[in-house]
Amino acid sequence: MSATGDFRISGLQFPDGFTFGAASAAYQIEGAATEDGRGASIWDTFSHTPGKVANGDTGDVAVEFYHRVDEDLDLIKSLHLSAYRFSIAWPRIIPAGTGEVNEAGLAFYERVVDGLIARGIDPVVTLYHWDLPQPLEDRGGWTNRETSYAFARYARVVGERLGDRVAVWTTLNEPWCSAYLGYASGEHAPGHRSELEALQAVHHLNLAHGLALIELREVVTRPDAKFSVTNCLATAYAADPANPEDVDAKRQIEALQNRAFTDPQLRGFYPPDLLEDTKHITDWSFVRDGDVQLINQPIDILGINYYCTGTARRGPEHSTEGTPYPGATRVEAVEQPGPYTDMGWNIAPHGLYDLLVATHEAYPEFDIMIMENGAAYRDQVVEHNGVKRVHDPERVDFLLRHFAAAHRAIKAGVPLTGYFVWSLMDNFEWAFGYAKRFGIVHVDYETQERTKKDSALWYANLAETGVIPEQLAGGILSSPGRN
């Protein structure tokens, strides 16, 4: 199935009990940045630093989820979603990262969890979606192993309060981004550019995941609660699969982006080839005896986020300072064929299929959930006879093709149990601010009015029936090209 070709779907039925959800993250939606005892996070600092975020946007107000919980939970209900994935802001729970617990923060998330359950929607909680309390960053952030232990305590505090109700726990969201975009390329908070720091961050994020799981398993009481971690795994191809040098370039990307996380988390070791590739940066002596055993805790669900593909080839020797690929000194990225979304990311549903199959082959014992998949487009509200609509045929087509790819993976034997569309609503897209719209629900940032896009209506039908009805995909997926 190519991204551009027409194809007809004739009623694809998802298995009974398949989770149809949507996802979000605290800093991207909540606003209320200084209310009810919330402390500052690295994203408050970063977004308030001139030049770091497009248009000087910040998450101070975002889409006011903090003040619109009931309205937004009703919205989720109206879309027939069986689960909602949201993240908890560590600085609302333990404002300084360590020390005092903020009751108002716990009470807020309790309201969200109870509101979801009352509406028959499973709460899926991410504990860390990038909003590290600033006081921890002031002591080294993820380069400091104390941060891992502080995270474990935070996980315990949340688990003690919500552990009788939350359906699925995911410890970290995309630690690749936290480590490499945060500490190597500086595109994300805290904005550092150090290859060594990035690799230290990789390890301390992994350690945080393991330590948090140990705490959670002690305090969570919901008998059918599931535990997971969410990685954004690269779907990497070799430019020329017959050329061993290109194959090696792909191996290096997979080691840095995928196995640096999944091997310690799921297998209890760091990939020897990763240590070799990065030995000019560090001897990894920050990995202490026993750490990998702590990291390698049992999980039930492997969460993956998928957006696009990458292709690698062997290139001339170059420095990787300031890039998100520490040590990949002879790897060159190959331009991906379009069409593209408004992020400039290529649309490749076959990549989702390949990733699901490859992940299942490598780690066959885990159920898999797609914790994020979606697309940004330049959506506009139109009015017909006084009714507001957002026509987003590209996003409908994107989702249709990716759900079809997921269905194909299930047929091929992948134990895929759920799919969360990114994102429920338009929101703060990190360094892009509010310039990129990923929501299936449009938000007018002036008025905070929510309008369901056509993709939300399409998805609501899928979530309600479990079936992609007979439909023609094609002719819609086109884009003006990369930004």
Catalytic amino acids? 174, 372
CA angle 35, 41, 44 (to 5 degrees): 80
State yes or no: residue 426 binds ligand IFM (CB under 6 A): no
State yes or no: residue 42 binds ligand IFM (CB under 6 A): no
Q: Smallest gap, in angstroms, from Cβ of residue 426 to ligand IFM?
A: 11
Applying the rule CB under 6 A, the residues between 165 and 194 that interact with ligand IFM are 174
83 versus 157: smaller Cβ distance to ligand IFM:
83
State yes or no: residue 422 binds ligand IFM (CB under 6 A): yes
In this structure, the strands spanning 301-305 and 168-173 are unpaired
Peptide bond into 285 cis (omega under 30): no
Q: Smallest gap, in angstroms, from Cβ of residue 223 to ligand IFM?
A: 30
Q: Smallest gap, in angstroms, from Cβ of residue 255 to ligand IFM?
A: 21
Q: Smallest gap, in angstroms, from Cβ of residue 84 to ligand IFM?
A: 15
Q: Smallest gap, in angstroms, from Cβ of residue 62 to ligand IFM?
A: 12
Applying CB under 6 A, among 305, 320, 417, 455 the residue interacting with ligand IFM is 305
Q: Smallest gap, in angstroms, from Cβ of residue 370 to ligand IFM?
A: 12
In this structure, the strands spanning 226-231 and 301-305 are parallel
Report whether 473 contacts 401 (CB < 8 A): yes
Applying the rule CB under 6 A, the residues between 4 and 33 that interact with ligand IFM are 25, 28
Q: Smallest gap, in angstroms, from Cβ of residue 341 to ligand IFM?
A: 10
Residue 169 phi/psi, 5° resolution? -110, 135
State yes or no: residue 342 binds ligand IFM (CB under 6 A): no
168 versus 181: smaller Cβ distance to ligand IFM:
181
State yes or no: residue 429 binds ligand IFM (CB under 6 A): yes
Give the residues across from 310 on adjacent strands. Answer: 236
Residues 378-397: x where in contact with ligand IFM by CB under 6 A, - otherwise, as a string: --------------------
Of the candidates 362, 379, 319, 434, which has an alpha carbon nearest to the alpha carbon of residue 56?
434
Please tell me the distance from the alpha carbon of residue 438 to that of residue 459, in angstroms, as a whole number.
14
Applying CB under 6 A, among 57, 122, 372, 394 the residue interacting with ligand IFM is 372
377 versus 438: smaller Cβ distance to ligand IFM:
438
**Cβ-closest residue to ligand IFM?**
25
Q: Smallest gap, in angstroms, from Cβ of residue 372 to ligand IFM?
A: 5
Report whether 109 contacts 88 (CB < 8 A): yes
List of residues contacting ligand IFM (CB under 6 A) = 25, 28, 174, 305, 372, 422, 429, 438
